[in-house]
Amino acid sequence: MLKKVLIANRGEIAVRIIRACREMGIRTVAVYSEADVNSLHKELADESICVGPAPSNKSYLNVKAIIEATCLKGCDSIHPGYGFLSENSSFAKMCNEIGIKFIGPSSEMIELMGNKSKAKETMKNAGVPVVPGSDGIVDNVLEAVKVALKIGYPVILKASAGGGGKGIRVAYNEEELVKFYDIVKQEAKISFNDDSIYIEKFIENPRHIEIQVMADEYGNCVHLGERDCTIQRKNQKMLEETPSGIISEKLRQKMGKIAVNAVKQIGYSNVGTIEFLVDKNKDFYFMEMNTRVQVEHPITETITNIDIIKEQLKIASGKKMEYKQEDIKFIGHSLEARINAENPDKNFMPCPGEIKELHIPGGNGIRVDTAIYPGYKIPPTYDSMIAKIIVHGKDRKESISKMKSALGEFVIDGVNTNIDFLYKILENKNFINNNYDTSFISKEF
Ligand code: ADP
Ligand code: ADP
Ligand code: MG
């Protein structure tokens, strides 16, 4: 078993990982930036070490400082969480070369899936239906026009190295395509230091349905059902649920089987998520694979009673998976709401600052993953997500009631949050009636 893990992350996910390690008797080392001297993850870990100044590229993305900290503290492994270095294949490679276990898939797998256009090709070859589009990267605007003519408008331009909903534009005609081509290329260069882009058919009014997979290092793999992450703003997830109201047991099994087969075929291990779009005819298309733990993993944990972080640690320790597909049971319904320090009235502008008063909701079936506390100062430097509420009810109706109750109880004084906005979603008739698609927020609010 792993003995001492360095957690190369911050915020709620660092706290989440520390707790899982503690339960398993694994020692933890937190890394923190100068902006995070008073952070909860630093306090909760057994040991901690500063890895640099506030900007991420000088601390949480500072490969040299993080590797040095790992060696200095005598850690045998690194958990990268999500974001930051979690999908950096050269970092994973470096870890393994110097005998530090990177808790995640192999660097080859991260590289294969990290290039979204290459990932589509790989998945297509593994028998997964993919969104129709360009064969790989589109090198120039003429080629883009040609592809769009073939697949038909609207089309979507996407950064091949993209993530976090950035580097994506929809074009409804040739004029827009020509205009957006350069814009997306520029955005991709700035955000991901890689300006390669690809084109897909824009699937209209889809649901975002993703399948959680889990594979050990001996070729055993199961899926843990789907998560419906259709409620998005600017291609970023806001509210997630499982099971999805549009997925029948038959479709769940079909998508799950295709996902598991693909994972086995490419030789992927550890946990991962295969993201699909599902259209009105219930046809589904692979979009991308995230080779890390996801923000919304807890809703799967509550309905399957499987601790995904602990499973990551066990798999990375070289343990054989104790589950077979028939052991995976789905009980009840779960919702997650992402609480961000932002102002919905000012175009969701981030709202860092000091938390003056705080009351965190609780109760039967209510879980809050967070790293905030009264008096905590949210730094302006990082992601604005400050908490996640996860509820588990016997059915969707009960989950919605629980979530409304929890949101109503949450008190965060000192900064603006999206709590009221989330409450309005839960009161929306179309949401309640399961009548929504990825355009829900832009249409209804
Ligand atoms: P999830 O599917 O887990 O919800 P998101 O796409 O919301 O993942 O991303 C999780 C976190 O990681 C967010 O903070 C997001 O900003 C960050 N992130 C994801 N992909 C990238 C990337 N390629 N580059 C930089 N940050 C990323
Ligand atoms: P990221 O890496 O930023 O998560 P994704 O490729 O997963 O990017 O896409 C993010 C979101 O953008 C999806 O959840 C979906 O809402 C929308 N999207 C992406 N591709 C398409 C498409 N071909 N048609 C319609 N919507 C899309
Ligand atoms: Mg995605």
- Of all protein residues, whose CA lies closest to atom 5 belonging to ligand 1? 164
What residues pair up with 232 in beta bridges, in sequence order?
Answer: 237
* Ligand 1 close to Cβ of residue 379 (< 6 A): no
The phi and psi torsions of 366 (rounded to 5 degrees) equal -120, 125
What integer pLDDT is reported at residue 407 of this predicted model?
Answer: 98
Cβ distance 240 to 210 under 8 Å? Answer: no
Query: Helix (H, G, I), strand (E, B), or coil: what is residue 12?
Result: helix
| Encoded amino acid at 166, one letter | K
User: pLDDT, tens digit, for every residue of 176-217?
Assistant: 999 999 999 999 999 999 999 999 999 999 999 999 999 999
Q: Exactly one of 27, 292, 338, 367 is catalytic; name it.
A: 292
* Structure-block tokens of residue 313: 């640690």
Instruction: Determine the Cα–Cα distance for residues 277 and 269; give it in Å rounded to an integer.
Output: 24
292 catalytic? Reply is: yes
What integer pLDDT is reported at residue 203 of this predicted model?
Answer: 97
The kind and range of the H/E element at 6 are strand 4-7
* Structure-block tokens of residue 384: 């604005």
CATH architecture of 4-103: 3-Layer(aba) Sandwich (3.40)
Q: How far is the CA of 27 from the centre of ligand 1 (A)?
A: 27
Q: How far is the CA of 344 from the centre of ligand 3 (A)?
A: 23
The kind and range of the H/E element at 227 are strand 221-233
Instruction: Determine the Cα–Cα distance for residues 351 and 115; give it in Å rounded to an integer.
Output: 32
- CA separation, residue 157 to residues 146, 190, 210, 394, 441 (Å): 13, 16, 21, 40, 21
| Encoded amino acid at 410, one letter | F
Instruction: Determine the Cα–Cα distance for residues 98 and 162; give it in Å rounded to an integer.
Output: 29
State the closest ligand 2 atom to the C-alpha of 133, by its place in the atom list counted from 1.
23
| Rg for the chain, CA atoms, rounded | 21
Burial of 248 (0-12, 13-18, 19+ CB in 10 A): exposed
Query: Which portions of the chain are predicted below pLDDT 70?
Result: none
What integer pLDDT is reported at residue 200 of this predicted model?
Answer: 97
Q: Which fold has domain 207-444?
A: D-amino Acid Aminotransferase; Chain A, domain 1 (3.30.470)
* Ligand 1 close to Cβ of residue 287 (< 6 A): no
* Ligand 1 close to Cβ of residue 10 (< 6 A): no
Whether the full predicted model's pTM is greater than 0.95, yes or no, is yes
| Residues near 183 by beta carbon (within 8 Å), at least 6 away in sequence | 169
Mutation probe of ligand 1 site: the residue of 295, 369, 390 with most atoms within 8 A of C-beta: 295
Q: How far is the CA of 387 from the centre of ligand 1 (A)?
A: 15
CATH superfamily of 132-201: ATP-grasp fold, A domain (3.30.1490.20)
Q: How far is the CA of 46 from the centre of ligand 3 (A)?
A: 33
Q: What does the domain layout of the chain look like in residue ranges? A: 4-103, 132-201, 207-444
User: pLDDT, tens digit, for every residue of 122-164?
Assistant: 999 999 999 999 999 999 999 999 999 999 999 999 999 999 8
